[in-house]
Amino acid sequence: MKLLQLPPHYRVKIEFTLYMQIIQITIVLIHQELAYNVEYKTEQGQSNYCGIDYFNDQIKDIQFEIDHKGLTTNLYLSSTLDSNPWDESWGFRNFRLYIYQCPSGCLICSQDDYQSDCLVWVLFDSFYTEIDPNLFEVEGWNIDNQQVAKKKKCKSVPIICGESLCGKDTIISKNFYSLPIHTKMKIKFKYLKVDSWEINDQIILKVDGEIKWIASLSLINQYQYSLCGNYYPEVSINVEVTFMHSSTFALVQILNTLDQDSTDESFGIRDIQIYIEQILCGDQIIQFSEDCDDGNLFPFDGCFNCKYSCVEGCSLCHKGICLNCFYGWVFQNNLFICLRIINLDQQQQQISLQTNGNELDYKTVIECRKGFYLNWISYQCESICGDNFITNTEECDIESEFCHECKFQCSSNCQQCQFGICQVCNKDYLLQNNHCVQTEINNRCQCQEICGNNNYAIYTLEECVCDLNCLECIRGVCYECSNNYMLINNNCYEIPVTCGDLIIQENEECDDGNNIEFDGCFNCQYSCPIGCKDCKLGICQDTCQYGFYLINNICSPICGDSIQADHEQCDDGNNNEFDGCYQCQYSCPQHCSDCLKGICVACNLGFLLINNNCINNCGDGILNLEEQCDDGNQDDRDGCSQLCEIEFDWICKQGTDCTYIKYPIFKTEYLMQKNQYQYVKISFSQPVQSQSQVIYKDTFDLEILDLNKTIFNITIKDIKPVQFLIVSDVQYILQIEIQTNLNYQPILKVNLTEQLYSIDDAPLKNTIDYIQLNYPNYMTEEQGKFASAFQIISKASIFSIYGSSIILIILGNSLTFWGILDALQQQSYLKFINVQYPQTLIIYFESSELISIQSLLNSITRLNRMAKVLEFPYLESYEKFQFYEINANITEGLRTEIILFGTFSFVYLIILITIKIINNLEVNDKFLRFPKFIRFLQKQKRKIYFKVIRTNGSLVKNALLACSWDLIFMAFLEISIYHDLAFYKTFVRLSIALIIIITTLIFILSQITGILNWKKQSFHQFWRKKKDFFIIIKKVLILLILVFYQHEQELQTLILTLINLLYLIYVINFKPLDDQQEHLKTLIMETSLTLFTASTFLNWNLLSHYIQYTQRVIISWIQISLLVSVLISFMFFELYNALLIIKQKFIKLIANRNVPKRQEEDQSQKQNNQQKTERNLQLKRIPIARVTFSCQIHQTV
């Protein structure tokens, strides 16, 4: 026995020379296959060739083939000899094994496979394939019989498991992950049955829990004994199972139904190989993940690498079909390709392009400047005569008799002409009104042939007039008369009145009122149908002749039965009008003027007679009904093509005079997406008109490709509608609502079913246009309720914060209000990040309008909206600013700030006036009698002074910082939009914007002072004091990125995240705020902003293919929760502060109420003490008093 490892093959061939004695059967096994089994007899051999004399020895050259595809082959040679080798023996030599290899590059194949058939199979993994027992590894698969995986040898063949190792309840399994994209799987392995299996014992292969193969090995012929086990027939087979599979995960299990101990029933496995059938791009078969397969690898042909691709220059394509082109390319509607535009001036005499002979490269189109068109014969830009635009090669370009082919020209017989005005006429002509008039006129009469008899009628046409009762008259000859008249010798004679009046009179057999022959009554006498032999009273009694059919007792032919009978001139069995026979009468081919029995003799003017057909003779200068134009040649690109069709951008009058005129172009433009609606503008490159009285918007055929019409609504809004026969600028707006979410950007198809025309009657160049819409922003009703709930929570939190802040202001703490407002305003600017937010976030951001200063004061402004002083023109912005209808006019943004600072100034003025009034009252003589009132006024004045001095600087500073968001934003937005410098108001607005920006820069520079000396101070302390510097820098950078990076959503998001992250690091490291509560609030706000902007990348357009809308909605809930949590935390902080101050005020108030009582008690106690003191000193006081009194008396006397 020998184990060999073979390269990929599908068949083997074996050759060897066999030496033997005695009668025997030689068996050659390749695995379980009995490849060779032949009985040889003694008489076939030769005497004493190998050994014993009295036996005939034999030498046989053996050769055979067998199908085989296994990785290894186990050769087993045996015989039926049963005696001692000295008595019976055999041997072999010259052993050769040949293989039929698979096609180049194939790892597995069958006999009928071509290279393209087997190259699709790729080896994903293999196990237990070594033939050297020392290199044979046991790792890789799981053994579920609670035993450690071991290897064993069957003779010299290493296997996994084996006798007494694997048997009953043994499951060999492995999980395969990250399988490449595939459509099929093939599993190969070598399985060995060891020992005494029963008939019911089976081997089972399962993949992902499904049975893919099952077999009972005991039913297979068994020729091998005791190779691996104990004296029982054994089986070794190659298993190969192929099945459909496309998952990236696979669980492969090899099981059995054995019911005895492994010492009695066991098995072994080796050579496990897992193949997958990968998709082969280029086989022109579309499989699994392939969008297309055109059999090549050419780019820009609509299919590349088996994925739809756009052709070169294409900006929008659907399933490989180009629908629109980039700027600088022209879209060819009929070919769905883009042609590159090359702009040429008239001065360029020749162009250098890739050409094929005289043909220009089909991927290139040339566009000349205004007033010129491209001559495709000379490849030169030539002036367009008749477009009312004078170029340097034209003298004139107007519709006038003095301008011919764009050159000045006078009337005929003019001798001297200047600028189209005749100065001198020829001889015998008189100059009159710039025209030359002949002085002598000769009148001559000419004869014309007008009659059919080739005579000339000089003075009258009477010779050519037929009888008035003639229905068909050609050149004076009558061929058919009207009713009641009969045609005799080309003249119409009246039929006697008595016949045909439906009254049978004398000498009349019948009277059917008509003059139709063979209808039973003709000329008031019975008549029989044609072909009738036996006729009574006009009714045929016998059978009809060949070609006639008895219909209503009348033998009549049937037209179309291919039998010519009766009055039929022909019968070709069809109803084709122009094939020579129509309705069983000779007919002329189309456009034939003269024919004989269906054969055309002459064609109409402008047609050629070819094979009995009149073919249009395009290029003969004669316009016919089948031609749009005919300019007398078959040259393309001169207005009339070689097929006599009017070319694009040309108008041909009367079919011959072609003028180059630019056709109006119908175009669509994507405007924006607002909530669940998307807006598309329909416009035209030129003013257009309608030539039919219809409501034009009703003629629109609107369709979203690959989308059912029941799940989208499109509303057409008239902005500038089309008018009947009135040329005007036309514009429509489409409002599109898609009522489902898609993982791709849908394409809108707009088809104008009614043609429009320019002022020159030039039709639209295109009536169909395509535009790619954005991903739908659809929100379910349940999601809307959740978003509204978050919005309510947000608004409630904001109002609570405002309410608490107002309380704090009343109680004397206004700094908190400005700090919170300044911090929260940044949250309101997150909506301007130019990504497509889910509808849930858009609804939430509506509540953020309450945060900004401008929105906060809009309520005041709205009360005065009718005032002209507060009205400012609306300037349209762009991108997200246009979405939120932000007025880019900076004066509109300054309105609220003017009101705010005007209010501050008014309050400050009132305070100054109040102080002045108090000062005047203090020195007024009338109030000197009331010292308590004076002391009260002085006390109030001191309080006002204290408040003004303490809050004046900080109030203005904090108000400016809070308003700086809006001021800097409006300044940047004003600068970013387009300006018409022809109006003085533009300079005013720009000056205001520059003043704001310069002021901001001055403030920043003022904060930089001292930075050069920071080394002399504490590093940490120095930068901690620069809080205002970092705040203003952060604001400027954020607003700068928001305004000027609207078209770069990826860069915008990344920079904003970086700015927020750096500021967060600054706050964490330097702790610029002394108040722990304010520091904590700053950390919460900055952390939420950083996380929000960092997660915004999930809404990038380039990730829309990978992140579904439902997933983005889930992420938006997390983002909303993040923002709402900031508001809620701020609300609790402010409520706590308000309650704390109220508590302090309340305690102080109670304390102040107790002061008067204590003062009275102290005063009464003091008085009592004083009284006691006075009593003790009373004796001493009396003498003194007396002396004083006596003295006083003395003095008075």
Taking only the tens place, the pLDDT of each residue in 698-712 is: 999 999 998 888 899
Which has the higher per-residue pLDDT, 440 or 1154?
1154
Which has the higher per-residue pLDDT, 568 or 30?
568
Report the first-to-last Cα separation within the chain, whole angstroms: 170
- pLDDT band at 1038, cuts 50/70/90? very high
Q: Which two tokens stand for residue 343?
A: 């702009």
Place of tokens 């019409």: 709
Place of tokens 């392939």: 290
Distance CA 1181, CA 1188 (A): 11
| pLDDT single digits (tens) 48-59 | 566 555 566 778
What pLDDT is stored for residue 1121 in this prediction?
A: 86
Residue 1115, class by beta-carbon neighbours within 10 Å (0-12 exposed, 13-18 middle, 19+ buried)?
middle
What pLDDT is stored for residue 818 in this prediction?
A: 63
| pLDDT single digits (tens) 339-365 | 887 765 544 434 443 333 333 444 455
Q: Is the model's pLDDT at 189 over the cut of 90? A: yes
DSSP 914-974: HHHHHHHHHT-GGGTT-HHHHHHHHHHHHHHHHHHHHHHHHHHHHHHHHHHHHHHHHHHHH
Contact 816, 805 (CB under 8 A): yes
Contact 140, 288 (CB under 8 A): no
What pLDDT is stored for residue 1059 in this prediction?
A: 94
Q: Which of 369-373, 475-479, 841-845 has the lowest mean pLDDT?
A: 369-373
Mean pLDDT of 101-122: 87
Which has the higher per-residue pLDDT, 333 or 1114?
1114
Distance CA 1020, CA 461 (A): 120
What pLDDT is stored for residue 750 in this prediction?
A: 93
Distance CA 36, CA 62 (A): 9
Q: Is the model's pLDDT at 794 over the cut of 90? A: no
Q: Which two tokens stand for residue 916?
A: 């002045």
Q: Is the model's pLDDT at 221 over the cut of 70? A: no
Which has the higher per-residue pLDDT, 1040 or 465?
1040
Q: List all residues 6 or more positions away from 1010 whose beta carbon is below 8 Å from its beta carbon.
A: 1022
Which has the higher per-residue pLDDT, 275 or 1073?
275
- pLDDT band at 76, cuts 50/70/90? confident
Q: Is the model's pLDDT at 154 over the cut of 90? A: no
What pLDDT is stored for residue 452 in this prediction?
A: 43
What pLDDT is stored for residue 291 in this prediction?
A: 85
Mean pLDDT of 377-381: 62
| pLDDT single digits (tens) 956-1014 | 666 666 678 888 998 999 998 888 877 888 888 889 889 989 988 888 887 776 555 55
What pLDDT is stored for residue 1060 in this prediction?
A: 92
For the chain, give the mean pLDDT.
78
Q: To the nearest 10°, the Cα dihedral for 503, 505, 511, 515?
A: -110
Mean pLDDT of 534-545: 75
β-pairing, 364-368 vs 337-344, is parallel
Q: List all residues 6 or more positions away from 24 whose beta carbon is below 8 Å from its beta carbon.
A: 39, 40, 79, 80, 81, 88, 90
What pLDDT is stored for residue 805 in this prediction?
A: 65
Most confident region among 218-222, 257-261, 845-849 by mean pLDDT: 257-261
Distance CA 204, CA 185 (A): 17
Q: How many CB atoms within 10 Å of residue 1172?
A: 10
Most confident region among 385-389, 420-424, 666-670, 1001-1005 by mean pLDDT: 666-670
| pLDDT single digits (tens) 1074-1130 | 778 888 988 998 999 999 999 999 988 888 778 888 888 889 889 988 888 887 888
Angle at 123 between CA 122 and CA 129, to 5 degrees: 160
β-pairing, 435-438 vs 429-432, is antiparallel
What pLDDT is stored for residue 1061 in this prediction?
A: 94
What pLDDT is stored for residue 374 in this prediction?
A: 66
Give Rg (Cα) of the chain: 54
Distance CA 87, CA 368 (A): 106
Q: Is the model's pLDDT at 148 over the cut of 70? A: no
Distance CA 240, CA 1098 (A): 46
Distance CA 77, CA 1018 (A): 95
Q: Is 520 left (phi over 0), alpha (psi -120 to 50) or beta?
A: left
Q: List all residues 6 or more positions away from 1012 whose beta carbon is below 8 Å from its beta carbon.
A: none
What pLDDT is stored for residue 1167 in this prediction?
A: 67
Contact 974, 990 (CB under 8 A): yes
- pLDDT band at 946, cuts 50/70/90? low
Q: Provide, rounded to the nearest whole percent, the portion of the chain with pLDDT above 70.
A: 78
Distance CA 659, CA 1049 (A): 48
Q: List all residues 6 or more positions away from 122 whose beta carbon is below 8 Å from its beta carbon.
A: 107, 180, 275, 276, 277, 278
Domains, in order of start, for the chain:
1-111 (2.60.120), 120-278 (2.60.120.200), 310-407 (no CATH), 409-438 (no CATH), 533-585 (no CATH), 666-772 (2.60.40)
Q: Which two tokens stand for residue 316?
A: 């929008």
Taking each helix axis as running N to C, give the angle between helix 1109-1176 and helix 815-828, from 0 to 180 degrees, rounded to the nearest 10: 180
| pLDDT single digits (tens) 443-490 | 333 333 344 444 333 334 444 567 778 888 876 788 888 877 778 778
Distance CA 1192, CA 1197 (A): 9
